[in-house]
């Protein structure tokens, strides 16, 4: 007795999806290629997607890439992998990329915010575009010279650098334009610092130290200008700026120096990010000062570190995943000839235990 052979299981094709959904194969291609808006109804698009899922259909991305002349790969350049913010940006970019059949290669620039090297023999043949977070366009000359569309995250929207990184002039092509980037995705950074300053002023603080990042970048320049602008509008407010490298040890040393050298102690330390705030809190504890009873402390970013401190840190929450989402969506829009969303992403002040009214004057 022989066992009947089971029929061979075949891989469903786009033609199978079209037949099952009762639509044309072209309609299936439009829907599954995210090109259906304005050409196919939402109901039909939903039907095609549901049918493809039921059949277990997976598009042949390799064949599709050959037809489109694209690699369906984006490069995300960040200054470092040690900062949680950039990890969250990558998570957001990768999630949006996956929804559109793209992949994201994460590349930490060897020189931080300095000139980024091309990690490929030829970026043009390996990539569809570049996304760069918290860097200047001038630092991306090696990648921009490939003529790839560039999307800048958390960077100067007025940066019109046209150089190729070697002193020559870059050929911007049709995707970069004279502005050096095809799109910018920014956070409302200035508003975040305005919120911090207003919160501390409302509590009654008037003597401030700004523990500023020693990194020379647009995002930290914006924070400094916004803080000076807000406090400058209050006649009896004083502000001193102290710079420190972006690590806990440097922030602790800078804070200790500042508080031991001054005769009039500040009542609030405003830090450019949560890592600097952690160092400031350590310095205050070692000096025998209480947070927030003697000195209030604020951060910026709302990293996991903010709730690991005791008391928990008052800080500004930045939607890092949304930055990555929006950056990848902007690159896809540029590749498809659409105009990306250019509105700033809102930020939010999160008030926790490190801020309180200042101590009574002696």
Give the chain's radius of gyration (CA, Å). Answer: 26
Q: What is the structure's pLDDT at 96?
A: 92
| Same domain membership, residue 213 and residue 161 | no
Q: Report yes or no: 134 and 153 within 8 Å, Cβ to Cβ.
A: yes
What are the start-end ranges of the E strands in 55-177?
Answer: 73-78, 103-108, 129-133, 150-153
Contact 200, 296 (CB under 8 A): yes
DSSP string, 259-301: HHH-SS--SEEEESSHHHHHHHHHHHHHTT--TTTT-EEE-SB
Q: Are residues 54 and 87 in the same domain?
A: no
Q: Are residues 264 and 154 in the same domain?
A: no
pLDDT, residue 71, reads: 77
User: Is 353 inside any structural domain?
Assistant: no
Within this chain, do residues 196 and 303 fall inside the same structural domain, yes or no? yes
Q: Does residue 357 belong to any structural domain of this protein?
A: no
Name which of 302, 307, 241, 252 is nearest 273 in CA terms.
Answer: 302
Peptide bond between residue 292 and the one before it cis (omega within 30 degrees of 0): yes
For residues 134 and 182, membership in a common domain is answered with: yes
Say how many domains are in the chain: 3
Q: What is the CATH number of the domain that holds 27?
A: 1.10.260.40
Is 349 among the domain residues?
Answer: no
Same domain, residue pair 221 and 329: no
User: Domain containing 326 — which CATH number?
Assistant: 3.40.50.2300
> Is 356 within a domain?
no
Whether residue 348 is contained in a domain is answered as no
Residue 65 inside a domain? The answer is: no
The pLDDT of residue 41: 87
pLDDT confidence of residue 178:
33
Asked, for residue 313, whether it belongs to a domain, the answer is yes
Please give the pLDDT value at position 120. 52
**Structural domain contains residue 351:** no
> Both 88 and 106 in a single domain?
yes
Query: Could you list the mean pLDDT of each consecutive 10-residue stretch along the chain, which spans 362 residues?
Result: 49 84 84 76 88 80 48 86 89 92 83 53 68 76 71 84 38 42 93 97 97 91 96 94 95 96 92 97 96 97 95 97 95 89 94 96 72
Could you tell me if 77 and 180 lie in one domain? yes
38 and 122 inside one domain: no
Examine the domain organization and report whether 200 and 274 are in the same domain. Answer: yes
Torsion angle (degrees, nearest 10) of CA 319, 323, 329, 333? 130
Same domain as 102, residue 205: no
List the domain range (segments joined by +) for residue 147: 71-186+321-335
Q: Please check whether residues 22 and 92 belong to one and the same domain.
A: no
pLDDT for position 29: 79
Residue 354: strand, helix, or coil = coil
pLDDT for position 119: 52
DSSP 195: H
Query: What pTM was computed for the model?
Result: 0.74
């Amino acid at each position: 007795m022989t066992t009947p052979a089971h029929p061979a299981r075949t891989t469903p094709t786009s033609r199978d999806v079209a037949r099952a959904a009762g639509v044309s194969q072209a309609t299936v291609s439009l829907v599954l290629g995210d090109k259906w808006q304005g050409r196919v109804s939402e109901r039909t698009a939903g039907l095609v997607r549901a049918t493809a899922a039921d059949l277990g259909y997976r598009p042949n991305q390799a064949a599709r890439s050959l037809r489109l002349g694209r690699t369906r790969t984006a490069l995300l350049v960040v200054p470092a992998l040690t900062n949680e913010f950039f990890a969250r940006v990558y998570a957001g970019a990768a999630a949006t990329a996956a929804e559109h059949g793209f992949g994201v290669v994460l590349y930490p620039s060897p020189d931080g915010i300095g000139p980024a090297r091309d990690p490929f023999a030829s970026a043009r043949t390996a990539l569809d575009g570049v996304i760069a977070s918290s860097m200047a366009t001038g630092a991306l000359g090696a990648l921009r010279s490939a003529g790839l569309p560039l999307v800048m995250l958390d960077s100067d929207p007025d940066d019109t650098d046209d150089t190729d990184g070697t002193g020559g002039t870059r050929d911007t092509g049709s995707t970069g334009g004279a502005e050096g980037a095809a799109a910018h995705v920014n956070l409302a950074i200035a508003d975040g610092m305005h919120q911090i300053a207003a919160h501390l002023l409302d509590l009654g603080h008037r003597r401030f130290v700004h523990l500023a990042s020693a990194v020379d970048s647009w995002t930290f320049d914006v924070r400094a200008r916004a803080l000076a602008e807000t406090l400058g509008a209050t006649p009896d407010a004083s502000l001193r700026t102290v710079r420190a490298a972006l690590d806990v040890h440097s922030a602790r040393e800078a804070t200790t120096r500042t508080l031991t050298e001054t005769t009039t102690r500040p009542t609030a330390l405003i830090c450019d990010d949560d890592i600097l705030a952690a160092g400031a809190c350590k310095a205050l504890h070692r000096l025998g000062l209480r947070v927030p009873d003697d000195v209030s402390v604020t951060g910026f970013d709302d990293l996991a570190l903010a709730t690991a401190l005791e008391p928990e840190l008052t800080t500004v929450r930045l939607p890092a995943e949304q930055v990555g989402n929006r950056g990848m969506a902007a690159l896809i829009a540029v590749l498809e000839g659409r105009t990306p969303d250019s509105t700033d992403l809102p930020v939010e002040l999160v008030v926790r235990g490190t801020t309180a009214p200042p101590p009574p004057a002696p």
